[in-house]
Structure 1
């Protein structure tokens, strides 16, 4: 059984407000150079949730559930960096005050933290309602495996992922599919993977079918082959990263479902156990 440093991690409050969708330029340009007017990031997305398909929505970078941020840049940096998938979130203002949910991802660029709430609670929410998160998880480490860097995941959720160490010393983790490095796009070269996400490119329909991208759902765990996310995002042969699908497919070139990384190693010591049920909705028992 693996051991983590859960007892030494610090739990701290961060918070943000439900952020309205934005529309400075009404058109989003697709891979063929055609402009579309579509729903995209932000707001309260009532009919898109964790466990749903992240493909084929008539939208762009759609975020499931509730999207929050701060207008103060430094406060939003803290919200993005310290929030972890699986953290408890609580509404502290508005008609839904007291409602609780779970962080499901961090979306870079727009810099939103994404949160799942029950449908009846979302019906009471409004733009600018404030949500507090019990940020807990950054600094998580697996005892005896210094080559594996963990990030962006609540230790309570981590313990539910059925991660094992096999007799050869490899980490085995359930994932929906494996994705090759050449399919990773927007976000490559980012300074850190401890905030935000980066995208699986979906412009090649044959590759989407080959690697099961068309079957991905919000909240799915995936293995990223030859992807190093330990100190920024780069290609490195033999490196392995594990991530979670946080936003939808996109119409833009170089974009697609967003992946927030939860662990990475420069060495090939993380092995995939293919499991079609490897989705955080199952581990957190949220529907």
Structure 2
């Protein structure tokens, strides 16, 4: 018999933080080497991306670490840390300056900056430097009766959209695909509340064999035998539920970005495959008819 979920939503503080739409930047020289040593110069992080949106493919772009939608940051370091640590996936965002003032969006990821989705017509009116305010809510989230399961970067809206169910004391989450722990790369050394971890996509034959090259931005991802409580480490008998937040990379040890959302012991946390487990669908960000991707 499935257990009724009970959350501590009424305990969560809602607080405003702001950032500005960031300008893309490149290092002098500009070239990034593929694993075979060939150097390329590609667009990717920061700014306003008009044609890559949550629900679209993660692989196949002529780009490096492409971030869907709008990337925002705060120039003050401590304020930027607050922007990162307090903001959760699914939080509401609002443009507070410029031609798009008053337009609302939704937080869809956290990379070197915060990633926010807006409708295409809003992007046309936004400019680099516009201020975006986020109503943060989700830090301190708990699923009552399951104290060993930790939620990271999860807003109440996302918690309700997961489609979680509890059977025989185990929380089960639908995910679009499973990743083997052995392919997880850059970002293992960083705490899971601050930034993502890339899967290592350099072995293209393996990506195709496992179906990983079909991953979409916004897919929910399951990983077994990893403990994401304090950084990201290999540990038998632990599980993580994650989110694909940026596109593939040409850099060695890098690939699509996988952001931690839930972690816990495997006897209490598990996942099942549902190809439609993507936040573009579950959070109503874009329809399948609009994107041509999510089904």
TM-score by length of 2: 0.93
For residues 24 and 17 of structure 1, the distance between their equivalents in structure 2, rounded to whole angstroms, comes to: 21
Aligned length: 282
Mapping for residues 86-165 of structure 1, pairs under 5 Å: 86-107=90-111, 111-165=112-166
Which residue of the other structure, out of 12, 16, 26, is the alignment partner of 1:13? Answer: 16
- Please give the secondary structure, in 2, of the residue aligned with 1:55: coil
Aligned partner of 1:24 in structure 2 is 27
Question: Secondary structure of the equivalent of 2:161?
Answer: coil
Task: Describe the SS at the equivalent of 2:84.
Answer: helix
Instruction: Measure how far apart 1:207 and its partner are.
Output: 2.5
Structure 2: gaps of 5 or more residues? 287-295
Mark the CA change 1:279 to 1:199 in structure 2 (over 3 Å): closer, same or farther: same
Alpha-carbon distance between aligned partners in 1 of 2:134 and 2:197, rounded to the nearest angstrom: 23
Matches of 1:183 and 1:215, distance apart in 2: 16
Shift of 1:165: 0.4
For residue 156 of structure 1, give the secondary structure of its aligned residue in structure 2: helix
**Alpha-carbon distance in structure 2 between the residues aligned to 1:242 and 1:207:** 22
| Cα shift readout 1:203-238 (whole Å, capped 9, x = no counterpart) | 122331233211111100000111111122111111
Residue equivalent to 2:78: 74
CA distance in 2, matches of 1:253, 1:284: 33
TM-superposed deviation, 1:139: 0.8
Encode CA deviations 1:46-92: one digit per residue, 9 max, x unaligned.
Answer: 00000000101000000000000011110100001111100000000
| Residue matched to 1:188 | 188
Q: Is the 8 A contact 1:136 1:155 kept in 2?
A: yes
Structure 1 match to 2:256: 257
**For 1:158, what is the secondary structure of its paired residue?**
helix
Aligned to 2:279: 280
- Residue aligning to 1:214: 213
Counterparts of 1:267 and 1:275, CA distance in 2: 19
> For residues 120 and 60 of structure 1, do their structure 2 counterparts lie closer, same or farther at Cα, with a shift above 3 Å needed?
same
Segments of 4+ in structure 1 off by > 4 A?
A: none
Select between 249-258 and 226-235 the one with higher mean Cα deviation: 226-235
1:30 and 1:253 in contact (8 A); partners too: yes
Deviation track 1:149-191 (CA, whole Å, cap 9, x = no partner) reads: 001011122112110001x21111110111111110000122x
The answer for the alignment partner of 2:5 in structure 1 is: 2
Unaligned runs of 5+ in 1: none
Q: Superposition RMSD on alpha carbons, in Å?
A: 1.0
2: CA distance between counterparts of 1:211 and 1:82? 35
Q: Is the 8 A contact 1:236 1:266 kept in 2?
A: no
Q: 1:250 and 1:82 mapped to 2: Cα distance?
A: 27
Q: Against the structure 1 CA distance between its residues 52 and 113, is the aligned structure 2 distance closer, same or farther, given a 3 Å change threshold?
A: same
C-alpha distance in 2 between matches for 1:138 and 1:37: 38
Query: What is the aligned partner in structure 2 of residue 240 from structure 1?
Result: 239
Aligned to 1:56, the other structure's residue is in SS state coil
TM, length-normalised to structure 1: 0.96
